[in-house]
Chains A and B, each alone.
Chain A
Amino acid sequence: MVEKTPEELFRERSKRFEDAVQLEVPDRVPVAPNFGFFYAKYAGITPESAHYDYDKWAMAIKKTVVDFQPDMYVSPRMILLVPGAALDIIDFKQIRWPGHGVSGSHSFQFVEEEYMKAEEYDAFLDDPSDFIIRTYLPRIYGAAGPLKMLPPLSSMMVGYAGVHLTAALARPEVLKAIEALSKAGAESLKWRSIMDSLHQELTAMGFPSCAQAIAVAPYDVIGDFLRGTRGIMLDMYRRPEKLIKAVEKVLPMQLQTGIYIARRSGNPMVFIPLHKGADSFMSLKQFKTFYWPTLHKLLVGLIDAGLTPWLFIEGDYTSRLDTIRDIPKGKAIYHFELTDIFKAKEVLGDVVCIRGGVPNSLLCTGTPQQVKDCCKKLIDVVGKGGGFIMDSGAVIDEAKPENIKAMIDFTKEYGVYA
Chain B
Amino acid sequence: MAQNNNLHGCTMAADINSMEKTNDADYRMSKIKSRIAWTIATIFALIQLVLTLTPFFFMIMNSFRKQFDMLQQGVFHLPDPWYFNNYVEVVTHGFFGYFFRSVVVVAISLVLMLIISAFAAYPLARMRFRLNGLIYAMIVAMMAVPMHVTLIPIFKLTTTVGFYDSLKALIGPYVAFALPMSVFILTAFMKTIPREIEESAEIDGCNRYQNFFMMILPLSKSGLSTLSIYNGVSMWNEFAFANTLLITPSKKTLPLALGQFKGEHSLDIPIIMAVLTLSVLPMITLFIIFQDKLVKGMMAGAVKG
Whether both chains belong to one complex is answered with no
Question: Which of B's residues lie within 8 Å of A, judged by CB?
Answer: none
